[in-house]
Amino acid sequence: MNSSIRYALSVSLALSLFSGCAPQPTPPKTVTIDSSLPTPSMNGFIADITSVAFEWKPLSDPRVTGYYVYRNTPGAEDQKLQRIATIESRFATHYVDHDLKPGSEYQYRFAAITKEGSESVASETMLVATQPMIAPVSFFQSVGNMPRSAKLLWRPHPNGKINGYLIERQNATDQKWSEIATIAGRLNAEFIDTELKDGQVYFYRIKATTFDKLSTEPSEITKVVTKPLPPEIKNITSTNNLPRAITLGWEASMINDLSHYNIYRSTSPKGPFDYHVKLDTTTFTDTITEDGKFYFYKITAVDKDGLESPLSAVATQGSTLPKPQTPIKYEGKILNKAAELEWSNNDPRTVSYTVVKTTKTSWISRESVDINNITDTRFRDTDIKPDTGYLYEIMSVDKNGIRSLPTPAIELSFEAK
C-alpha cells in the first residue's frame, strides 16, 4: 500500500474515532417552500406588556392544515427568526405570544403549512414593540416609633391594570428582602406590620401587581424604627430597719408616656421574681408580717403602650427589722415562797421585757400568761402555790413592741411544809 493511501486511511480513522466523543453540530432543518400555497394575510396585532395578539384572514385552501409562527429574540446573538409555535388548525385566525420582555421590539412572520410539512411563502415581517412595564408606586412612606409595629402608607396606583400590591421587608441586620404581605385591591393604601421587635430598624418597599400577575419595579425604600422599651430603672434603694416593713425608692423614669411601675419580689437574689404590685409613685412600702424577713426586689417601668423596661440587672435586697437579742445569763430560784428571776441583756434596742409564766394545772394541761412592761432585769413572782410547777420564759422587747425569741424555760416549784 502506497504512502498516500495509508495517510488517507489514518486521517479517516482519526476522524471516525473522534466523531464518537465530540459534539456534532445540529443539522439545519430542511424547509420546503411551496409557492403555490396561499400566504397568510395579517390583519394586525395588539401589543401588551408581556404578550402580543395577532389576527389574520382565514385561508380556504384545503391543503392548509395550520400555521407556523416565527419570531426573533431581542438581545440574542443570532437575530434570525426562529419557529416558536405551530398552530394545528387552518380555521384558526388568532394567536397570542406570551412571556415577552416589557418595552422590547420583536419581529414576527407567519406561514401556512400542509400535513406533509411544506409551508407557504411567509407573510410580511411585522415589527412589534411590547408596552413598557407599568411605573412603580410613586409615593410610599412609613410611620415609626410605634409599639412593635410599623404603619405603611402609599398613593393608590393610577393604572387600571393594577389589582393589588406586594409588601417587602428587610431587617437592618441582613440584606435579604422578604415578602410579608399581599394586598388585594388597587385602591387600598395602608398596611400595618405587627409583631416586630422593640427598638429595631426595618426597611420596606412596595410593588404593584397586575391582573396578569406581573409586578412593577419596587418603590423607593422607607425606613422604620420601632418604639424602644423604656430604659431600665436605676438607683433602687431599700430599708432594713423598719418594723415589719420594707420601703423601696428609685429614680423616676424619664419617658414621656409613663403608665406605671411594676415591682417584682423574690426570696432569693437569683429569683424567680414574681409580680408583686403595680403603682404610679417612686416609693413603695411593703408590709410584712415577719421580723428579720429578707426580700429581693426588681422594678420596671411600663409605658402607655404596654411596653415594659427590662428587669433591673441587679436585685435590691431589703429586710424587716430583726427581733431583739434574747436575754442572756438568765436564772431563777424559789426564795421565801416566791419565784425570783434574773437575767442580762446587752442589746441597746431593748426597752422592756416580757415574762411568760406557764402554770402546770394538771399533768396534761397548762395555762400561760404574759407579764409585760418589765423594765428591770429582775422579776419576783409571789403569786405561786406549793406543789405546783411553773415555767418562766424571758423575752426582750424593743420600742416597736417586737419581742425577741424567748429564753429556754426555767422550771420552778416548791413543796408545802
Q: Mean pLDDT, to the nearest integer, of 17-40?
A: 66
Host domain of residue 181: 140-225
Taking the CA atoms of 211, 216, 220 and 224 in sequence, report the sign of the dihedral they define.
Answer: positive
Q: How far apart are CA 297 and CA 411, in angstroms?
A: 45
Please check whether residues 219 and 165 belong to one and the same domain. Answer: yes
Over the stretch 222-237, which tens digit does the pLDDT of each residue have? 999 999 999 999 999 9
Over the stretch 334-361, which tens digit does the pLDDT of each residue have? 999 999 999 999 899 999 999 999 999 8
Assigned C-alpha cell, 341:
428571776
b/e burial code for range 200-210 (CB count within 10 A of at least 16 → b):
bebbbbbbbbb
Residue 404 has pLDDT above 50, yes or no: yes
Is 99 in a helix, a strand, or coil?
coil
Side-chain-facing half-sphere of 365: CA atoms under 13 Å: 3
Q: Could you give the number of structural domains in the chain? A: 4
Please check whether residues 246 and 211 belong to one and the same domain. Answer: no
Q: How confident is the model at residue 130 (pLDDT cuts 50, 70, 90)?
A: very high
Domain assignment present for 81 = yes
- Phi and psi of 228, rounded to 5°? -80, 160
Report, in this order, helix, strand and coil percent for the chain, each rounded to 5.
5, 45, 50
Tell me, what's the pLDDT at 230?
97
Tell me, what's the pLDDT at 96?
98
Domain assignment present for 370 = yes
262 and 308 Cβ atoms separated by less than 8 Å = yes
Q: Mean pLDDT, to the nearest integer, of 16-31?
A: 48
Residue 12 has pLDDT above 80, yes or no: no
Please check whether residues 114 and 150 belong to one and the same domain. Answer: no
Please check whether residues 404 and 335 belong to one and the same domain. Answer: yes
The closest of 225, 239, 228 to 301, measured between CA atoms, is 228
Over the stretch 132-175, which tens digit does the pLDDT of each residue have? 999 999 999 999 999 999 999 999 999 999 999 999 999 988 88
Domain assignment present for 265 = yes
Over the stretch 64-116, which tens digit does the pLDDT of each residue have? 999 999 999 998 888 899 999 999 999 999 999 999 999 999 999 999 999 99
In one-letter notation, the amino acid at residue 343 is W
Question: Distance between the two ends of the chain, CA-based, in angstroms?
Answer: 162
Please check whether residues 221 and 252 belong to one and the same domain. Answer: no
Domain assignment present for 32 = no
Please check whether residues 219 and 246 belong to one and the same domain. Answer: no
pTM of the predicted model, to two decimals? 0.70
Domain assignment present for 213 = yes
Over the stretch 312-340, which tens digit does the pLDDT of each residue have? 889 999 999 999 999 999 999 999 999 99
Of the candidates 225, 251, 280, which is a domain's last residue? Answer: 225
Q: Tell me, what CATH number does 244's domain have?
A: 2.60.40.10
Domain assignment present for 20 = no
